[in-house]
Amino acid sequence: MRASLKHLIYLLIFLTFIFIGCETLRSSKPIVPIREYERMLVGRLDADYVGTETCLSACHYHDKIKRDFDSSTMGAQVIAKTGLPLVNCESCHGPGSLAIKGITPEKVKEDARRGIRTKCNYETLIDIKSLPAPAKSLICLKCHTANATFNLHNWNAGPHAINDVTCIDCHNVHKGPDLIVRKNDLANMCERCHQEIKAAFSLISHHPVPERKIYCTDCHNPHGSGNEKMLRRPTVKQTCTRCHAEKEGPFIFEHAENTEDCLTCHRPHGSVNNNLLTVRLPFLCLQCHSVHRTSATSSIEGKATFNTRCTDCHSQIHGSDLPSTSGKGRFIQ
């Protein structure tokens, strides 16, 4: 009996700590279960769905938005037999009956005569702007599930979702009839938030992203990928050799395990050094090797190659199938 009382007291102390812990967690960052987010997206419970036509027929102020939307892939999903979910204004903005209550064509005309633009009561719609980030994304995810949109398989665990970046930070559903992300929009889309990456691409040596020869999405999947840094391929090397296949090997003479990670020597985006090198030649090499004397240069030991680009002679620095004159792999040819 005494023992179990003691246990009970321990348990109480333990629980108190847990609750105190939760309290601080909650105040620093509220943990709202998915169901709460879902509730935020239902809209006012006293409102009904009225359909796009009813919603918009009275005032016609959103004609352009509607026209664009109707001819977009999403807006075109109105044919029941496609089996795709119907997407209309209320799918995202919530039920609209309260917003248009009392608005008749007569009232709109009367207002217009008095110089007033009739407003619907949009405060009864879902206040998308003020939703917490995961709820904003859930507006889209309720249809774009990982199964429906395969690309989104890794969304929830991805660094963007975790850092409160939402679908609508990148996708503007009212930008026009074309919702497909065009490659040319990409640089701006990403650089808005990634200023330091933008800066890297303006260095002397850089991947031709500003020149629009390759794109952020060639290497990254902005929806998350399950790989480090949202890379499309499992490793950095695989990411690079997709385009630089000749560096892939295997070579008879490999540069140790170095070329397993191209980033030992290269920066992925841009660098102040030629060839995207992390460190200028010969200092790059001198991080791991010492200078040496060769018969081809001066005989002053230790100074011979110091001012030379090592790759003038070791030109096959990534690996080679041919030995040097001594029969060793020294990446000379």
3-state secondary structure of 111: helix
Q: Are residues 300 and 233 in contact, defined by beta-carbon separation less than 8 angstroms?
A: no
Closer CB to ligand HEC, 108 or 168, in the complex: 168
Query: Which residues lie across from 254 on neighbouring strands?
Result: 319
Q: Please tell me whether residue 141 binds ligand HEC under the rule CB under 6 A.
A: yes
From 115, 256, 299, 300, residue interacting with ligand HEC (rule: CB under 6 A): 256
253-254 and 205-206 as β-strands: parallel, antiparallel, unpaired? unpaired
218 counts as binding ligand HEC under rule CB under 6 A: yes
Q: Is 298 in the site for ligand HEC (CB under 6 A)?
A: no
316 counts as binding ligand HEC under rule CB under 6 A: no
Whose tokens are 């620093």? That residue is 28
Structure tokens at 19: 């609750």
8 A C-beta contact, residue 140 and residue 167? yes
Q: Does 254 bind ligand HEC (CB under 6 A)?
A: no
Using CB under 6 A as the binding rule, whether residue 37 contacts ligand HEC is answered as: no
| 237/263 Cα distance (integer angstroms) | 8
| Least spacing, CB of residue 103 vs ligand HEC, in Å | 14
312 makes contact with ligand HEC (CB under 6 A): yes
> Cβ(231)–Cβ(220) under 8 Å?
yes
- Contact between 152 and ligand HEC per CB under 6 A: yes
Supply the angle between the helices 133-141 and 34-42 in degrees, to the nearest 10: 70
Indicate the residue among 56 and 100 with the shorter CB distance to ligand HEC.
Answer: 56
What is the C-alpha separation between 276 and 206, in angstroms, rounded? 6
Nearer to ligand HEC, 80 or 288 (CB): 288
Contact with ligand HEC (CB under 6 A) among 181, 199, 252, 272 = 181
The correct pick among 51, 146, 247, 251 for binding ligand HEC (CB under 6 A) is 247
Q: Which is nearer to ligand HEC, 61 or 107 (CB)?
A: 61
Q: Which two three-digit tokens encode residue 159?
A: 């660094």
The DSSP element (H or E) to which 320 belongs, if any, is strand 319-320
Q: To the nearest whole angstrom, how small is the minimum distance from the Cβ of residue 35 to ligand HEC?
A: 18
Instruction: Give CA–CA dist 105/103, Å, rounded.
Output: 7
Q: Which stretch binds ligand HEC (CB under 6 A): 24-32, 33-41, 110-118, 285-293?
A: 285-293
Please state the closest distance from residue 6 (CB atom) to ligand HEC, in A.
47
Based on CB atoms, which residue is closest to ligand HEC, 21 or 302? 302
Name residues contacting ligand HEC, limited to 93-112 (CB under 6 A): 93
Site residues for ligand HEC, window 53-72 (CB under 6 A)?
56, 62, 65-66, 69
Under rule CB under 6 A, residue 120 binds ligand HEC: no
Residue from the set 9, 128, 131, 252 that interacts with ligand HEC by CB under 6 A: 128
If you compute the radius of gyration of the chain from its CA atoms, what whole number of angstroms results? 31
CA distance 277 to 271: 6
Task: Locate 128 and state its tokens.
Answer: 């998308």
- How many residues line the site for ligand HEC (CB under 6 A)? 125
CB 124 within 8 A of CB 100: no
